[in-house]
Amino acid sequence: MIKKLPEQLTDQIVLPVIAAPMFLVSSPEMVIESCKAGIIGSFPLLNARTTDILEGWMEQINGKLEKIRRENPEQRIAPWAVNLIVHRTNIRYEADLELIKKYRPPIVITSLGKPTTVIDIVHQYNGLVFSDVSSLVHARKAAESGADGLILVCDGAGGHAGTINPIAFTGAVKEFWDGITILSGCISNGQDILAAKALGADLAYMGTRFIATQESFASEEYQKMLIESSLEDLIYTDAFSGVNGNYLIPSIRKAGLDPSHLKKKDAVDFSKINQPKAKAWKDIWSAGQGVSTINRVVPVKELVKELKNEYDQALASLIPERSRPNLA
């Protein structure tokens, strides 16, 4: 049985989608426009270079969304989310956690570590915690820690991707998990969103498609490369951060490196990833295997409308309208 999403989500979304947090790509404006359009918008806390900048972003997002809700009481405005790295190398962990306490984002997405402390804090204000997992071991640990949702990062996802097929991963996790399930990996259009729902996911996690939006922090060169690339232009490697991820081969060559002779990075070091000498993410760009479907840069509002139309058409082709369930 597909677990129903809590009312705090179903009452506010028009499409079961999270615009995934992308390092150096997701912007406050992307979050706001995603939520306005009716999908969950998110950003990595480390996209803000300092805690002062981060506080300004969180205040901006909270303030603008509250204003929109007041002025448009009938409009569905989705909740926003932040992504917190809980790995020991995140030197801003404590400071960013204090801002989570203060600004109370409705959803906190945790990555690379045990989320127990974060869960305790977020649950105090009735927020939800979703945890990134790429293996059954990590999924079980996150479930045991009390996470509200598991984000299954599957084969073909952008950024730090897993290696498990989404069909196999979803089925295996459902054997022990009845909480919120979010599916990540190659989800690029409305048909893909419906397929994720059919597999048993409550929400689809979409990143790469949102790189090519007007509100994205991605440079014009990055977006142009994304549009011109296909899945054959990707390489899966741990050479840049110590964790395997999918990267655009043209960006690696542009940085003066040979994709066939990459050396493994010894350890994840998020404390240095914003330094000028670091090449990953800043100069070497990530993308998921759904890259082939991206052909233009559009506003987030237009993209969500397109995804909703594709989703509705896919649903209509399978189920007569009179017997169609509410899958939002």
At residue 14, the pLDDT reads 96
At residue 200, what are phi and psi to the nearest 5 degrees? 115, 5
Residues 49 and 20 in one domain: yes
Residue 2, domain member (yes or no): no
The reply to whether 155 and 300 lie within a common domain is yes
Give the C-alpha separation, 215 to 28, whole Å: 9
Q: Are residues 153 and 228 in the same domain?
A: no
Highest mean pLDDT among 182-196, 231-245, 279-293: 182-196
Position 2 pLDDT exceeds 70: no
- Whether residue 41 is found in the same domain as residue 181: yes
328: in domain: no
Residues 6+ apart with CB under 8 A from 95: 51
> What is the maximum span of the chain, computed from C-alpha positions, in angstroms?
59
Nearest in space to 182 (alpha carbons), one of 39, 324, 315:
39
Residues 306 and 229 in one domain: no
Do residues 186 and 280 both lie within one domain?
Answer: no
Whether residue 1 lies inside any domain: the answer is no
Task: Count Cα atoms within 13 angstroms, Cβ side, for 48.
Answer: 24
305 and 166 in one domain? yes
| Number of domains into which the chain is organized | 2
pLDDT value of position 268: 42
Residue 274, pLDDT score = 41
Task: Establish if 211 belongs to a structural domain.
Answer: yes
Q: Does an H or E element contain 177, and which?
A: none
Shared-domain flag, residues 195 and 116? yes
Report the pLDDT value the prediction gives residue 321, as an integer from 0 to 100: 59
Is the model's pLDDT at 88 over the cut of 90? no
CA 270 to chain centre: 18
| Containing structural domain, residue 262 | 220-289
pLDDT of 6 reads 86
Angle at alpha carbon of residue 316, lines to 183 and 150, rounded to 5°: 10
- Residue at 205 is within a domain: yes
Q: Name the least confident of 163-172, 250-259, 267-276.
A: 267-276
Residue 266's pLDDT is: 52
pLDDT-derived band at 273 (thresholds 50, 70, 90) equals: very low
pLDDT at 225 over 60: yes
**Mean pLDDT across the stretch 261-274?**
56
Average pLDDT, the chain: 90
At residue 325, the pLDDT reads: 59
When comparing pLDDT for 89 and 67, which is higher? 67
Query: Could you tell me which residues are beta bridge partners of residue 85?
Result: 111
Q: Does residue 195 share a domain with residue 247? A: no
Position 200 in a domain: yes
Q: Let me know if residue 115 belongs to a domain.
A: yes
In a domain, 128, yes or no: yes
Same domain, 179 and 269: no
Distance of alpha carbon 200 from alpha carbon 114, whole angstroms: 25
State pLDDT tens for residues 96-148: 999 999 999 999 999 988 899 999 999 999 999 999 999 999 999 999 999 99
**DSSP run (H or E) holding 132:** strand 128-133
Q: What is the C-alpha separation between 295 and 103, in angstroms, rounded?
A: 37
Q: Mark whether 125 and 59 lie in a shared domain.
A: yes
CATH number of the domain within which 47 lies: 3.20.20.70
Residues 226 and 204 in one domain: no
pLDDT surpassing 70 at residue 46: yes
